[in-house]
Amino acid sequence: MQLEFKAFDGRSHGMRDVTDSLTGKTVGFIQSFAVGFGNSGGIEVSLFDGKYRTEVKTQGEVRGFIQGVQAVLNHMVHLKE
């Protein structure tokens, strides 16, 4: 599993798909609610039909969350093998 998303500007409203580049399937989404100064807005991340979700403030936190989910799921698959 290799989860990917296109870069986005968190200061505006928008939605991006998260895809597994190995299968080409969409596995979730990232939705920005115009993160601004003074702790307004936020970025919602939802993967695998909401099984893994969070709300963060920066694109770096989005990337970290997605990479963490990817690492855990890849580890679980290898344990089953």
Q: What is the 3-state secondary structure (H, E, C) of 35-63?
A: CCCCCCCCEEEEECCCCEEEEECCHHHHH
Residue 27 phi, psi dihedral angles, 5° rounding: -115, 0
Supply the pTM of this predicted model. Answer: 0.85
Q: So what's the pLDDT on residue 35?
A: 76
Residue range 1-15, pLDDT digits in tens: 999 999 887 777 889
Pair 33, 14: CB distance under 8 Å: no
The domain containing residue 76 runs over which residues?
3-80
Query: Which own/partner contact pairs does 39-45 have at CB distance under 8 Å and 24+ positions apart?
Result: 41/10, 43/10, 45/18
Residue range 25-60, pLDDT digits in tens: 999 999 998 776 666 678 999 999 999 999 998 889
Domain total in the chain: 1
